[in-house]
Chain A
């Protein structure tokens, strides 16, 4: 009997590349559409994808969404993580969480339902075991923060404040799959203000607030978060949905309901990003069903300063890197800077939406 049944072959693990001054300092923003005589002088138009949000510079505006990309390392052997603008890690709570019983996911038409229940290693183990790897990447690390109460959100942030190499926090007030916390805060404007103000006060790093789409008027929550001191908004989290097994007449998920994500939600999510970007002055990060370059471009055009790729990471891990490349090609072809694209929606009556600056 052989001791080992197959040789262990190590294939290309991503080389750790330290951050250099180039990508931190960045260049001056381009001037957008150039006149023909200028083109003759500079035949090669180089689009600038670098983007600034909450005082942090990102090498490009394509990020991976929380809960769909683990802690980054899981994808290191499948793609070049250094091509990403940022990695938003799985929701981190002050203490480890065990999550919900199976079944936790169910595929629906062009989408999926999930009720994972925020299973995670907790803030201290995140700092000790996950952050050191993320720090070596050119992609920025954004930590999604979850808790059951305002005090615990603050406590989680205070633990994470000890970590070096975190670019920003993403405050998760929108997870629909836990009994307490999350969406409870994200569907009550007063609680949104309360928790954002407390988190902002505690946070050593800029604060992005991730909004829930399960509200009647997204602009109320966008404004509440802005008023309470949020540096940026990301939206949307998943839509609460359900599915029933007609043979057993039981819900398909142990949690009964779950969050719907994937291409199915994109038109609704896009509408909400459009509305929110007209309601607030802080930057918006668009999330919801992004699987192609075209999807991402739509979000930029309605006002998103960056986008997050979520569910597509599950079935096609190369999606986000392809979008980065595609975005560069698109800007090159259109001779547009990213900054000219953002919020460039042309409305039928000729009016332009208020730029999101």
Chain B
């Protein structure tokens, strides 16, 4: 099992909403004022958000940390040296919890447990990033939320990157502007053909891998189970490394409820690992993909 040294950066805080901006397709960008949690965040980690005073919605909601920044005010960009004070969560309204979240107003308070989990840029993953000719980000729908911070950090370090982004329709393709300065190109796919190629995002990924068979890539993927499974198969077929950020229902985010466990290579009590603690990012080959109903069918919003 993986070291849990990371948990010591996690904090349980009550924080104030700075902004809750409506985007297209029922998506929102929630900005929370929380300097200590923002500063501790590493790319690909997540947060557990709690609606206060709502015992009918009991559990916290797991959400990728989309971005951290010095200020949520686009007019005041903050100087480059400013340390982050804002945590941004990108989410889609899919159920009761996210519906309540969409009603949050500036000044409202929420519970935030963050930062949590092992992200995309853990020490053990870096050698493969260095070996790769290019990092390929593969996002399905709201899965995009896990990829911005890794893309930012990798861009700062001079890595070549490319984004493949799929959704049901063009309104699902949120946050594209944030990736633009970080990647060499973005390729879209929508199921209704309203943006990019028609169909699943794995089609442009496959075309790209087939065209550049002599190159070495590291894929970083986040999205629905079926998309991840298809992406992992492509990575395997073309012999590229692939990291996946997994979604699952979570009870606590602390590693104790064991509700978010997924089947991985191994036996005994290690056959299941916690998405919240050992993950959410895993090597694709470690995950057992062909288990029936391995994840919840309605997991299209955030991580839950």
User: B9 contacts A9, CB within 8 Å?
Assistant: yes
With beta carbons under 8 angstroms apart, the residue of A8, A102, A114, A318 that contacts B251 is A114
With beta carbons under 8 angstroms apart, the residue of A9, A67, A74, A111 that contacts B40 is A9
- Interface size in chain A (residues, C-beta < 8 A): 58
> Could you say which of B9, B121, B259 has the most chain A C-beta atoms within 10 Å of its C-beta?
B259
With beta carbons under 8 angstroms apart, the residue of B10, B121, B159, B254 that contacts A70 is B254
Closest Cβ neighbor of B10 among chain A residues: A77
Residues of A within 8 A of B130 (CB): 1
With beta carbons under 8 angstroms apart, the residue of A77, A102, A106 that contacts B8 is A77
> Could you say which of A70, A104, A254, A315 has the most chain B C-beta atoms within 10 Å of its C-beta?
A315
User: B269 contacts A5, CB within 8 Å?
Assistant: no
User: A102 contacts B297, CB within 8 Å?
Assistant: no
Q: Which of A16-24, A117-125, A135-143 contacts B (4 or more CB under 8 A)?
A: A117-125
Residues of B within 8 A of A68 (CB): 256-257
Known: A77-B7, A102-B262. A6 touches B40 (CB 8 A): yes
Closest Cβ neighbor of B154 among chain A residues: A1
User: A104 contacts B294, CB within 8 Å?
Assistant: no
With beta carbons under 8 angstroms apart, the residue of B40, B126, B158, B268 that contacts A98 is B268
Which residues of A from 41 to 88 have beta carbons under 8 Å from B? 67-70, 74-75, 77-78
Residues of A within 8 A of B10 (CB): 77-78
A interface footprint on B233-265 (CB within 8 Å = 1, 0 otherwise): 000000000000000111110111111111100
Residues of A within 8 A of B5 (CB): 8
Cα separation A114 to B257 with both chains bound (whole Å) = 9
User: A70 contacts B255, CB within 8 Å?
Assistant: yes
Closest Cβ neighbor of A251 among chain B residues: B293
Closest Cβ neighbor of B52 among chain A residues: A316
State whether the Cβ of A317 lies closer than 8 Å to any Cβ in chain B: yes
Q: Which of B56-64, B86-94, B184-192 contacts A (4 or more CB under 8 A)?
A: B56-64
Residues of A within 8 A of B7 (CB): 74, 77
State whether the Cβ of A247 lies closer than 8 Å to any Cβ in chain B: yes
User: A11 contacts B294, CB within 8 Å?
Assistant: no
Minimum distance in angstroms from B78 CB to a CB of chain A: 19
Residues of A within 8 A of B294 (CB): 101-102
Minimum distance in angstroms from B261 CB to a CB of chain A: 6
State whether the Cβ of A3 lies closer than 8 Å to any Cβ in chain B: yes
> Could you say which of A74, A122, A247 has the most chain B C-beta atoms within 10 Å of its C-beta?
A74
User: A316 contacts B111, CB within 8 Å?
Assistant: yes
State whether the Cβ of B157 lies closer than 8 Å to any Cβ in chain A: yes
Known: A1-B157, A314-B257. A245 touches B269 (CB 8 A): no
User: A248 contacts B259, CB within 8 Å?
Assistant: no
Cα separation A97 to B271 with both chains bound (whole Å) = 9
User: A11 contacts B9, CB within 8 Å?
Assistant: yes
User: B258 contacts A97, CB within 8 Å?
Assistant: no
Residues of B within 8 A of A252 (CB): 296
State whether the Cβ of A351 lies closer than 8 Å to any Cβ in chain B: no
Minimum distance in angstroms from B220 CB to a CB of chain A: 14
With beta carbons under 8 angstroms apart, the residue of A111, A116, A245, A315 that contacts B60 is A315
Minimum distance in angstroms from A267 CB to a CB of chain B: 14
Cα separation A314 to B270 with both chains bound (whole Å) = 22
Other than the known A102-B294, A110-B56, what 13 A-B pairs have Cβ atoms closer than 8 Å?
A: A4-B123, A5-B121, A10-B8, A67-B257, A68-B257, A70-B256, A77-B10, A98-B268, A104-B249, A111-B58, A114-B259, A247-B298, A315-B59
Q: Which residues of B contact A (CB under 8 A)?
A: 5, 7-12, 40-43, 50, 55-60, 111, 121, 123, 126, 129-130, 153, 157-159, 248-252, 254-263, 267-272, 291-298
The 9 residue pairs across chains A and B that have the minimum distance between CB atoms? A105-B259, A70-B256, A314-B252, A96-B269, A98-B271, A96-B268, A1-B157, A314-B251, A6-B42
28 contacts between A and B (CB under 8 A): A1-B130, A1-B159, A3-B123, A5-B42, A5-B121, A6-B41, A6-B42, A8-B5, A9-B9, A11-B11, A67-B257, A70-B255, A70-B256, A98-B271, A101-B293, A102-B248, A102-B296, A106-B249, A107-B59, A116-B261, A119-B258, A247-B298, A252-B296, A262-B58, A313-B252, A313-B256, A314-B256, A317-B12
